[in-house]
Structure 1
Amino acid sequence: MPPSRRPVAAIALFILLATGAALLAAPAAAQEVPVEHTVSADEPGRVDVTTAVDAPSDAAGLTVVLPRRTDVYETEGFTRVDERTYEWTRSTDRPTLSYTMAGNVTVDRGAGERYTYVATDGWALVRSPRVAVYDRTERLAVDQRHTVAGEGVAGPNVTYLGPAEVRTRDVEGVDQRLRLVVPAAADLRTDPETVLDSMAEAARRLPFGDPDGKVFVVAAPTTVGWAATGLQRGDADMWVRDTQRVAGPRNAWVHEYVHTRQEYEPTEATRWTIEGMADYYAALYSYETGRIDHGTFRRKLEQGDRETHADVRLAEPDTWDDEADYEKGALVYGALDRRLRATADASVGGVVAEFGGGEVTQADLLDAIEAAGGADIRADAERYTETTATPPTWDRAAHAEAFGGAVFTRSVEGYAVDGPYRSESLETPRLVAGERLEMTVVVRNEGPDPGGYVVEFAVDGDLVETRRGRLAPGESTTLSFARDFETPGEYGLRAGGTTATATVEPPGEPRVTELSAAPKTAAPGESVVLRATVVPAADRPAAGTVEFAVDGQPVAGTRVAVTRETTVEATTTFETPGDYTVRAGDRASTRVQVREGASASQTPAERAGAGKGGDGAVTTETDAVGAAPGPIIVLAALAATLLLWGRR
């Protein structure tokens, strides 16, 4: 090598070595640092976490930044830099940090402190810990995994600690798995499969957002005071109170799911769309799947025109009152959606899909609406968001014209009752304890397209049964739902969007209106049939025992269940001559005379038939019912038979 080139070569070698060292000192850009968090909760209000980092072998140095409000009590392979930052000492390839996090997180929204996360002495619903990892000053990609110590289930952003059942659903047509955690401490008002149905339907219907591969949902036990009906955190984790129903205009399961698909960043002027959109789709999809009727859907939107929202301008959050963005936001979003569908074959959902993940200003929103539907609709959007003007709601015909699809109506066709007293139709759901009520509902598709319906039958909010099906336009089907009622009280019935109140009363008392004895004059030891006519004392079925007594002493008792006039009988004998007073119930009485000799006022055949008739049971203290034919009668009948045979 010529001498003049040696300095150049030396410099080149130095640069090469320096560059190589730098390349070796930093992990590859695409590499993710594995981090595992193990979560437990042994004390109320506190969460224990151990975070383990698999340090890259080629890392020059690592620092970890912990979540806020943590208290580190043990380290291995880390040294403290500041309150939340710890540096890897290189003494181990898998350094760990053990620390506590606040389990209880509260917020005051005007009704006092309420929980958004909580750790009780029996279970915990908490934030999943997440850390930031840096190599010198560059933040690294991190693969954060979460496990629980003991019973529980962890998601990327929400963790439940305690016994629980997990249901999953792979959404057909969408590359997404829904994971529903149902804690043992929860009292889920809706069947888990129905919850997953409603979320899967929303996943397929929503026209915007890239569905996350996994959605993690916890049914939050409502034994504490929650600050909201539900809360979504991170990309696709959420909790919803266990009391929240699917069959309603504010389906919180769908509302929170919609948040997982909102990718854009709103400004102050467009912030109303976040909650308004979620509330609108929760109501719309409940209506379109037949879980509520159009009247319920419309009343939900009409909340946006309440007097409390009279001064609200959606583009100015400072003017909002409580729930303005939810209620007026849903009405405005829905009205614009209907206008776009009816006049431009477009939708607000399609507009949102164009935004992607960027920031959306008021001008962006108005421009996009104008591009989709024209200047008139833009003017409406501007007026309804920048002034106090409020759009009107729309009727079922206008909805069908704009949205198409199936439009389901439900109506109660009637009621029926079955049980120990009766089996018949009812005009109103009024029954007595121990009976079974059947509610018959007619579902009709009044929309222009075929579609699937879901009808849930619930009593006092507790799901009893779910029916599903498909109907062509103009087609209807009749569904019957039944439930036994053992306890008196008033019960709320709901089948789809139809509601009623069932009144369950205790059975009434039976009342004896007439009493007879046959024969009224009898010989000692002769059987006497006592017959009582019984009716319900009140205007409902009656149950009880009819006591027969002679001179105040009980001789027989018959258990009755009556809905109308009924006859019950008992048989007794009188061994001693005399006059006897026979009673049944509190009022009816008759007298029986007992005399020596065969002095009965009826023939033996009449006495034998005296015990026939009526629909009540017979309780007797003798083995016979009526009188048996005597030997003379039997011989006479035999002789007559032989005489007739001889004449043939």
Structure 2
Amino acid sequence: MGLAHVHWLLAGIDEIAAFRLVFRDDRTTDVRGTGRLVWHGRTLVWTPGGPYAHLRYTVAINRQRPPGTHFDSYATPDWIATRALHLFPEINVRFRTGVAAARARLRFRLPRGWHSATALAALPDGTYLVEEPGKRFDRPRGWLLLGRIARYRHTIAGLEVTVAVAPGSPLDVRGLFRLYGKTIPLLVGILGAPPPRLLIVSAPDPMWHGGLSGEDSFFVHGRIPIRSPDKTCSYLHELFHVWQPFHPSADGRWVSEGLAEYYSLALPYRAGRLSPQTFVRGLALFERYGRWGSDLTRTRVPAALNNSAPLVMHWLDHEIRRVTDGHRCLDDAVRSLAHEGGTLTTASFLRAINQAAGRDFTPLFRRHVYRGEPPPERAREDDAGVGH
């Protein structure tokens, strides 16, 4: 139990000279295949040596996520929750010149009564279409849930949402769809067109007690409520990360995390699912549990990224609205970043903020981003329309 047997079958691959496969850890064993296999540490150089080839290996599915005793990949007798990257290594392909890209399909062979849920497009023959944008040789991506699972599908604002639930997970699926019905249309207005599909994987212990995003998919532990005690929503936080059409650099991580957490509070409020008083309490909790006095562009402390950064986002939204007489807001800056795509940095975020505000916000960044000063309290009551 707890082993995945992976089998690659390749046909018509005269155009491929060699593969370079980089395995993440030592959980892959019994690697066999046609042609020539040469190991360099955890890197395998595979030269198929013909138009038809195969590669086989075994992967131990269970993977503990440090620190602690919980897992981000786990197998039980009734279900398996994992990510494709745990089963398929990083792939670099040396093609011969002047050839077309490869086509790939994924097929599962599962015990009787088991079903599969992936972030890939399902085909009529029971396989999944494997597409990796920008790559000539595609590999499966995103989260997978296999087993005696329940699957629920709903299309919201053009986004096909699948919620896959493992036995023992108490997720309120109906409540989640109600939330998404109100908030996904708002995200379309901020981030633009959604991904083609979204898979949400919900599983119980001993899986990681948190959320983990993947390509077109994410995992959230089944016992995490739709609204957390701090009034934010992990299901919106992870959705923002999956949807965002930009990738943070090292100094842009605070921006990505701050936006995801801020909108996980702000979107339910805008959708009428949080009262003004509850919204203000959520902002107050950001300040109480934030890590202040740290440079947000350099820190990796969770309290700074998950509490300080989103409160700074709220302050930026407040100040943009103030200086533009309510005509512009943080959404306008995020729309600009989403349209630009590419790498998200502190500098690119500041440019987008300045463009939205029509003035230079560098002094504000010095105080609240680089020196880590908490924003003034008055913005919370002003924006929510309530007092103490």
TM over 0.5: yes
Q: Give the Å deviation of 1:238.
A: 0.8
1:211 aligns with 2:194: yes
Identity of aligned residues (%): 21
Do 1:298 and 1:393's aligned partners in 2 also have CA atoms closer than 8 Å? no
CA distance in 2, matches of 1:196, 1:279: 19
Q: Give the Å deviation of 1:167.
A: 1.1
Aligned partner of 1:254 among 212, 236, 253: 236
CA distance in 1, matches of 2:88, 2:193: 23
Could you say which residue in structure 2 is the equivalent of 1:267? 249
Do 2:5 and 2:56's aligned partners in 1 also have CA atoms closer than 8 Å? yes
Distance change >3 Å, CA 308–CA 362, structure 1 → 2 = closer
Q: Give the Å deviation of 1:113.
A: 4.0
**Higher relative contact order structure (alpha carbons within 8 Å, sequence separation ≥ 6):** 2
Aligned partner of 2:71 among 83, 101, 115: 115
CA distance in 1, matches of 2:380, 2:368: 22
The DSSP-based 3-state class of the residue aligned with 2:348 is: helix
State the 4+ residue runs in structure 1 displaced beyond 6 angstroms.
137-140
Q: Give the Å deviation of 1:117.
A: 1.8
- 1:353-390 Cα offsets, whole Å, 9 max, x none, are 32322223333222221221143644323321011211
Do 2:202 and 2:219's aligned partners in 1 also have CA atoms closer than 8 Å? yes
Could you say which residue in structure 2 is the equivalent of 1:147? 107
- 1:583-623 Cα offsets, whole Å, 9 max, x none, are xxxxxxxxxxxxxxxxxxxxxxxxxxxxxxxxxxxxxxxxx
1:49 aligns with 2:31: no
Letter in 2 for 1:263: P
Letter in 2 for 1:340: I
Could you say which residue in structure 2 is the equivalent of 1:63? 19
Could you say which residue in structure 2 is the equivalent of 1:184? 167
CA distance in 1, matches of 2:362, 2:240: 24
- 1:295-334 Cα offsets, whole Å, 9 max, x none, are 22222222332376232221221xx533210111110011
CA distance in 2, matches of 1:382, 1:197: 40
Distance change >3 Å, CA 396–CA 338, structure 1 → 2 = closer
Q: Give the Å deviation of 1:67.
A: 3.7
Q: Give the Å deviation of 1:181.
A: 0.6
Distance change >3 Å, CA 158–CA 55, structure 1 → 2 = farther
Q: Give the Å deviation of 1:195.
A: 1.3
Letter in 1 for 2:154: R
Could you say which residue in structure 2 is the equivalent of 1:330? 310
Letter in 2 for 1:373: A
The DSSP-based 3-state class of the residue aligned with 1:327 is: helix
Could you say which residue in structure 2 is the equivalent of 1:97? 55
Could you say which residue in structure 1 is the equivalent of 2:371? 387
Gaps of 5+ in 1: 1-42, 402-406, 408-648
Distance change >3 Å, CA 136–CA 307, structure 1 → 2 = closer
The DSSP-based 3-state class of the residue aligned with 2:206 is: coil
1:134 aligns with 2:115: no
Matches within 5 A, 1:183-202: 183-188=166-171, 190=172, 192-202=173-183
Q: Give the Å deviation of 1:198.
A: 2.4
CA distance in 2, matches of 1:181, 1:361: 34
Do 2:63 and 2:72's aligned partners in 1 also have CA atoms closer than 8 Å? yes
Do 2:269 and 2:276's aligned partners in 1 also have CA atoms closer than 8 Å? yes
Letter in 2 for 1:283: L
Superposed CA RMSD in Å reads 2.9
CA distance in 2, matches of 1:124, 1:166: 14
More helix by share: 2
Do 1:367 and 1:378's aligned partners in 2 also have CA atoms closer than 8 Å? no
CA distance in 1, matches of 2:263, 2:334: 13
Aligned partner of 1:343 among 323, 340, 343: 323
- 1:151-208 Cα offsets, whole Å, 9 max, x none, are 2323332111211111112123x3x2111112233222x1x13213323443321212
Could you say which residue in structure 1 is the equivalent of 2:138? none
Distance change >3 Å, CA 225–CA 61, structure 1 → 2 = closer
Letter in 1 for 2:303: E
Higher gyration radius (CA): 1
Letter in 2 for 1:383: R
Letter in 2 for 1:87: T
Gaps of 5+ in 2: 120-140
Distance change >3 Å, CA 135–CA 114, structure 1 → 2 = same
The DSSP-based 3-state class of the residue aligned with 2:28 is: strand
CA distance in 1, matches of 2:224, 2:289: 27
Could you say which residue in structure 2 is the equivalent of 1:7? none
Distance change >3 Å, CA 121–CA 295, structure 1 → 2 = same
CA distance in 2, matches of 1:229, 1:140: 41
Could you say which residue in structure 1 is the equivalent of 2:44? 84
The DSSP-based 3-state class of the residue aligned with 1:86 is: strand
Letter in 1 for 2:212: L
Distance change >3 Å, CA 60–CA 393, structure 1 → 2 = same
Letter in 2 for 1:47: A
